Structure 1
Amino acid sequence: MEWIQWFGEHFIGMFNAGGEVFMGLVTGIVPTLVVLLTFTYAIMKFIGEERVNRAIQFASKYMLLRYTVMPILAVLILTNPMAYTFGRFLPEKQKPAFYDSAVSFVHPVTSLFPYANAGELFVYLGIANGIKEAGYSISELAVRYFLVGIVIILLRGIVTELITKYLAKRNDASVLEGGN
């Protein structure tokens, strides 16, 4: 009968621990996420949706901007998974590379803008806690994580665009050569 007592104590203990974690989130990161999200949407309203759309259309014309500025804005403004809809500004032949860039940025964005991909927040916080326990600055980690993410999305976008062009040419994929 001891196992019943042990099971009862540990079963409810699991929920007590979950409740403590939840309260930590509610009093810690959740208010920060709400304020960051409100700030981002306020900036969008001040700038105007039409201006933002024009800036994204401008960025889509240049490879450097297409695989840095576009994915960053997409993830910050629309968050994951809606960020991928920014691909509508691109011709079909560039959409795979944009998607690759955007999906690669939803991880490092959590370091400075955790609201953009809350699902990855726990991964980043796990890494950050380890860095903090080792005696290093979490702020430095966040900035480096974000900056390395930008380099990675640029490289992935360029490589994926080249691969897409090669495969389209090899397979004579006229659908990728044409319009949207």
Structure 2
Amino acid sequence: MDLFVKLAEGFMEMIKAGADVFMGFVTGIIPLLIVLITIVTAFIKLVGEERIFGFMKKLSRFTIFRYTLIPFFSLFFLTNPMAYTFGRFIDEKKKPAFYDASVSFCHPITGLFPHANSAELFIFLGIAQGFAQVGSQSKLALMYLLVGLVVSLMRGVVTERITEFLMKRNNVTKQNAA
């Protein structure tokens, strides 16, 4: 009988711990996310979607921007998973590389801009909690963002080259790629 009592008490303690974490989210991160999403939405409305989209189309011509700034802006403005729709500004042959760069950037952007990929926030917070004991959580978030941009660029360029190689090898032309 004591075993069942201990199991029931342990189960209730687990439920209470979960409730404490949930209340921390309700009073901490959830209002932050709502405010960030509201600010980003207001910014898009003020500037205008057409201007933002035109700017992205111009940026897509340059490799370094295609795999750093466009994934950053797409995740910042549209958040995950809508961010991948910015692929419409990218040439058809370069879309796989853009997607690879964007997916690679989902974690790094979360530290400074949690609204961009809120599902990944819990992973970042887990890492940051340990880091906060020895350093600055903000410094970690910034380093994470910068390294993420470099990794996104590298992955985008490599994936672009692989895509070009495979398209040449399989005789894929622009007409049948679209």
Displacement, 1:70?
1.0
Counterpart of 1:57 in structure 2 is 57
Runs of 4+ in structure 1 deviating by more than 2 angstroms, as ranges, are 177-180
Distance (whole Å) between structure 1 residues aligned to residue 166 and residue 143 of structure 2: 34
Distance (whole Å) between structure 2 residues aligned to residue 147 and residue 45 of structure 1: 28
- Identical pairs, percent: 51
Distance (whole Å) between structure 2 residues aligned to residue 82 and residue 45 of structure 1: 17
Secondary structure of 1:142's aligned partner:
helix
Counterpart of 1:130 in structure 2 is 130
Distance (whole Å) between structure 2 residues aligned to residue 117 and residue 5 of structure 1: 41
Counterpart of 1:74 in structure 2 is 74
Counterpart of 2:28 in structure 1 is 28
Counterpart of 2:155 in structure 1 is 156
Deviations, residues 93-138 of structure 1 (Å, cap 9, x unaligned): 111000001101111010100111111111111111111112x111
Displacement, 1:90?
2.0
Counterpart of 1:165 in structure 2 is 164
Counterpart of 1:144 in structure 2 is 143
Deviations, residues 6-27 of structure 1 (Å, cap 9, x unaligned): 1111112211111000001111
Secondary structure of 2:171's aligned partner:
coil
Distance (whole Å) between structure 1 residues aligned to residue 60 and residue 131 of structure 2: 37
Deviations, residues 54-113 of structure 1 (Å, cap 9, x unaligned): 011111122111111111111111111111111122232111000001101111010100
Distance (whole Å) between structure 2 residues aligned to residue 90 and residue 106 of structure 1: 19
Distance (whole Å) between structure 2 residues aligned to residue 39 and residue 144 of structure 1: 24
Counterpart of 2:97 in structure 1 is 97
> 5 Å matches for 1:81-92?
81-92=81-92
User: What CA RMSD, in Å, does the superposition of the two structures yield over aligned residues?
Assistant: 1.2
How many residue pairs get matched? 177
Counterpart of 1:7 in structure 2 is 7
Tell me the amino acid that sits aligned with residue 76 of structure 2.
Answer: L
Counterpart of 1:116 in structure 2 is 116
Displacement, 1:158?
0.8
Secondary structure of 1:107's aligned partner:
helix
Displacement, 1:171?
1.4
Displacement, 1:154?
1.0
State the TM-score, normalized to the length of structure 1: 0.94
Q: Structure 2 unaligned runs (5+)?
A: none
Distance (whole Å) between structure 1 residues aligned to residue 43 and residue 82 of structure 2: 18
Distance (whole Å) between structure 1 residues aligned to residue 132 and residue 163 of structure 2: 41
Distance (whole Å) between structure 2 residues aligned to residue 149 and residue 33 of structure 1: 21
Displacement, 1:169?
0.6
